């Protein structure tokens, strides 16, 4: 079989005839679902979705990005809602510029596409603090993302505000708008066990709270197998075509919320990517197994502007997605997936309305067949052997299946070909001339320059309140020895440290994406008498994942100076901060 072709006992599976209707009192398109798909205005839908995050591009780019997604065979634009972007200070909201979510949703509608709104409001998303506003940290008694009243109050307030904003603009499909699906929480199953008895009640509460907002469209929870009815549990990851066991009820559709089109990049890590063929194989397999909603995360990654990125994540986000950071089409990925969508959509009627049969074609080969009473038929011939091609017999004809491939037969006879295409890149401009660059020098403060004082080492982020990445730790050190050599030892909980003695740099250290804490041990030269020690602690974004995020600490944890005579622990010395 030509390279690049989408080669992506008999059992019959009938779709249970139960339709879950989401009630709405406003005239518009009714959105419901059954065990086969989402149902919009009475019609089952096979949908391809694209994650495009409004604050990771500019409003001027939104129309072009959405248009290119539509041209690539996309039906739905999916986005998170970014709580700390919209409510940076308690009760103070911003929905302007890149934060103008209403304008973004209306742009989707103008292009004739649907929208999927992942409210969270915890989102992770390699976004600073997982999207939570840092002012939550100072709410008395708060524990994030569990059965904790202070957190639930603020989570419900923000979720309700966003829902009411969408309603006021008539943006839900039940009102005639584009939003057909919403999400509450995000991958909670990953941390639920850490909260013990406080976890399951929170899941039930979050589902009930969301459904009670009466949006008129279904809600989902990703990576939450026990999502309470009527909330749909969905799959995230690269291999949901293989790994997803299916929804927790036969009356819910198979939805893939995040099909990662590549890996996000982190400072200090080698770049990794994912081929168009691997993405296509998993998508075709997911659809073959009963999937009818696939979202690409990301379809356009864009840029983490300012201080919005999470710890050690680069400003360029998912640049290897079908649309690159700047919104240009990336081939072969964009073109390969466009052809995939066309091939699968040509099978829509049997997939949505037919009976599914499975047929063993070999040890690692399987046929998935969708047949309607009218005789209309579509087949997916799957080879999960990643080492060799295999010839199989199907309907008395021989088909050559490449390694890790799915062959799509819209008529159960002829294979649809999906071929690779390439992208040419030329250099537009190089920034390699000295006059293109400017150098900025900071003033290195001493203890005498500072106004914030403490007799202990303060935690970095609780001191800066996430208003800056930088915090100077300074102290005055008296050295009484003719021997000027000593060792400065600093233990940091992350992320970066620059050390200065009497205004001169004496070394730097840093953690990384996998291990944020580190220790700096450097030989320094001290004056006989008073010395100014200035330590610049730097955060490279805040953590965005894990349980008990409110407890995570950064900055300096211990400082020692070792000289020929003794070793002094200065952690409880008199410190100044700036």
Sequence-ordered list of residues with C-beta below 8 angstroms from that of 118, at least 6 positions apart, any chain: 78, 79, 80, 81, 182, 183, 186, 257
Which pLDDT band, with edges at 50, 70 and 90, does 4 fall under?
very low
| pLDDT for residue 6 is more than 60 | no
If you write DSSP's letter for every residue of 139-151 in order, what string do you get?
A: STT--TTSS-HHH
Higher pLDDT, 13 or 20: 20
Contact 530, 475 (CB under 8 A): no
Q: Assess whether 187 carries a catalytic annotation.
A: yes
Among 83, 541, 133, 122, residue whose Cα is nearest residue 310 = 541
Q: Mean of the pLDDT values across residues 470-495?
A: 96
Residue pLDDT, tens place only, 401-441: 999 999 999 999 999 987 666 666 677 788 888 888 998 88
Q: What is the pLDDT of residue 63?
A: 98
Tell me what the mean pLDDT of segment 361-367 comes to: 97
Predicted confidence at residue 421, as pLDDT, reads 63
Q: What is the pLDDT, as a whole number, of residue 21?
A: 56
pLDDT of the residue at 432: 86
3-state DSSP call for residue 561? strand
Q: For position 435, what pLDDT does the model report?
A: 85
- Catalytically annotated residue among 187, 192, 325, 550: 187
Q: Which tens digits make up the pLDDT trace of 461-476?
A: 999 999 999 999 999 9
Task: Decide if pLDDT at 555 tops 50.
Answer: yes
State the pLDDT at residue 24.
43
Residue percentage of the chain with pLDDT more than 90? 89
- Please give the pLDDT value at position 442: 87
Across 389-409, average pLDDT: 97
Residue 260 has pLDDT above 50, yes or no: yes
Say how far apart CA 359 and CA 303 lie, in whole Å: 45
Question: Over 80: is that where the pLDDT of 574 sits?
Answer: yes
pLDDT given for residue 417 in this prediction? 80
Contacts of 191 (CB under 8 A, 6+ apart): 145, 546, 547
Average pLDDT value over all residues in the chain? 94
Q: Does domain 41-353 bear CATH number 1.10.10.10? A: no
The answer to whether the 41-353 and 447-577 domains have the same CATH topology is no
Rounded to whole angstroms, the Cα distance separating 360 from 383 reads 11
Q: What is the pLDDT of residue 27?
A: 61
pLDDT at 10 over 50: no
Q: Cβ contacts of residue 569 below 8 Å, gap of 6+?
A: 558, 559, 560
Locate tokens 């001339």: which residue? Answer: 433
3-state secondary structure of 18: coil
| pLDDT, tens only, 106-159 | 999 999 999 999 999 999 999 999 999 999 999 999 999 999 999 999 999 999
Cβ neighbours of residue 411 closer than 8 Å, sequence gap 6 or more: 377, 378
Radius of gyration of the CA atoms of the chain, in A: 28
What does the pLDDT read at residue 12?
43
Instruction: Extract the tokens encoding 541.
Output: 């974004």
Q: pLDDT band for position 15 (50/70/90)?
A: very low
From the list 291, 297, 369, the residue with the least C-alpha distance to 126 is: 297
Residue with tokens 């603009």: 169
User: What pLDDT is attached to residue 26?
Assistant: 43
Residue 400: pLDDT band (50, 70, 90) is very high
| Domain segments of the chain as ranges | 41-353, 447-577
Least confident of 273-287, 336-350, 405-419, 507-521: 405-419
Query: Of the residues 87, 258, 325, 550, which is catalytic?
Result: 258
Half-sphere exposure of 261 (CA within 13 A, CB side): 28
Cis peptide before 137 (omega within 30 of 0): no
Coil vs helix vs strand at 162:
helix
Task: Compute the average pLDDT of residues 86-109.
Answer: 98
List, in sequence order, every beta strand (DSSP E) within 452-503. Answer: 452-454, 470-479, 485-492, 496-501
Question: 266 CB contacts (<8 Å, ≥6 apart)?
Answer: 312, 313, 314, 512, 513
Query: What is residue 232's three-state secondary structure?
Result: strand
Between strands 43-45 and 76-80, the pairing is unpaired
pLDDT in tens, 167-220: 999 999 999 999 999 999 999 999 999 999 999 999 999 999 999 999 999 999
Active site residue 258: yes
Overall CATH class of domain 447-577: mainly beta
| Residue 281 pLDDT grade (very low, low, confident, very high; cuts 50, 70, 90) | very high
At 227, list the tokens. 């999502």
């Amino acid at each position: 079989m030509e390279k690049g072709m989408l080669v992506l006992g008999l059992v019959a599976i009938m779709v249970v005839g139960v339709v879950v209707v989401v009630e709405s009192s406003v005239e518009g398109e009714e959105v419901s679902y059954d065990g086969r798909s989402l149902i919009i205005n009475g019609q089952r839908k096979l949908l391809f979705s694209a994650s495009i995050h409004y604050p990771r591009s500019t409003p001027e780019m939104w129309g072009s990005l959405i248009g290119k997604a539509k041209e690539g065979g996309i039906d739905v634009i999916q986005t998170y809602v970014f709580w700390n972007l919209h409510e940076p200070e308690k009760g103070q909201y911003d929905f302007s510029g890149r934060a103008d979510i209403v304008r973004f949703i209306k742009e989707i509608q103008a292009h004739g596409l649907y929208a999927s709104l992942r409210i969270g409001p915890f989102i992770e998303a390699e976004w600073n603090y997982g999207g939570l506003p840092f002012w939550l940290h100072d709410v008395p008694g708060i524990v994030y993302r569990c059965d904790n009243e202070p957190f639930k109050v603020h989570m419900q307030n923000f979720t309700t505000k966003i829902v009411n904003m969408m309603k006021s603009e008539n943006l839900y499909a039940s009102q005639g708008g584009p939003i057909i699906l919403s999400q509450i929480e995000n991958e909670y199953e990953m941390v639920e066990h850490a909260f013990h008895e406080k976890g399951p009640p929170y899941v039930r509460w979050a589902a009930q709270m969301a459904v009670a907002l009466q949006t008129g469209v279904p809600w989902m929870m990703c990576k939450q197998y026990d999502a309470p009815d009527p909330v749909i549990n969905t799959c995230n990851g690269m291999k949901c075509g293989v790994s997803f066991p299916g929804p927790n009820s036969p009356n819910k559709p198979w939805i893939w919320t995040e099909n990662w089109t590549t890996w996000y990049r982190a400072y200090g890590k080698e770049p990794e990517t994912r081929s168009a063929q691997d993405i296509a194989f998993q998508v075709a397999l997911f659809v073959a197994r009963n999937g009818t909603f696939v979202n690409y995360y990301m379809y356009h990654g864009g840029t983490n502007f300012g201080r919005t990125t999470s710890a050690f994540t680069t400003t360029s986000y998912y640049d290897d997605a079908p649309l690159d950071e700047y919104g240009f089409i990336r081939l072969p990925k964009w073109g390969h997936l466009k052809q995939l969508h066309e091939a699968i959509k040509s099978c829509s009627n049997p997939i949505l309305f037919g009976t599914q049969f499975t047929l063993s074609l070999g040890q690692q080969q399987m046929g998935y067949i969708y047949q309607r009473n009218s005789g209309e038929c579509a087949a997916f011939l799957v080879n999960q052997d990643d080492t060799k091609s295999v010839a199989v017999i199907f309907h008395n004809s021989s088909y050559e299946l490449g390694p890790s491939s799915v062959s799509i037969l819209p008529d159960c006879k002829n294979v649809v070909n999906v071929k690779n295409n390439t992208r040419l890149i030329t250099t537009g401009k190089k920034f390699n001339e000295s006059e293109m660059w400017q150098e900025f020098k900071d003033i290195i403060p001493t203890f005498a320059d500072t106004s914030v004082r403490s007799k202990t080492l303060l935690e970095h982020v609780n001191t800066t309140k996430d208003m800056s990445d930088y915090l100077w730790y300074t102290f005055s050190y008296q050295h009484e020895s003719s021997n000027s050599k000593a060792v400065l030892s600093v233990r940091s909980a992350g992320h970066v440290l620059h050390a200065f003695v009497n205004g001169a740099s004496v070394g730097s250290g840093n953690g990384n994406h996998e291990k944020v804490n580190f220790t700096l041990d450097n030989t320094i030269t001290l004056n006989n008498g008073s010395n100014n020690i200035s330590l610049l602690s730097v955060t490279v974004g805040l953590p965005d994942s894990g349980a008990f995020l409110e407890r995570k600490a950064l900055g300096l944890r211990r400082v020692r100076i070792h000289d020929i005579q003794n070793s002094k622990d200065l952690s409880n010395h008199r410190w100044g901060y700036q």
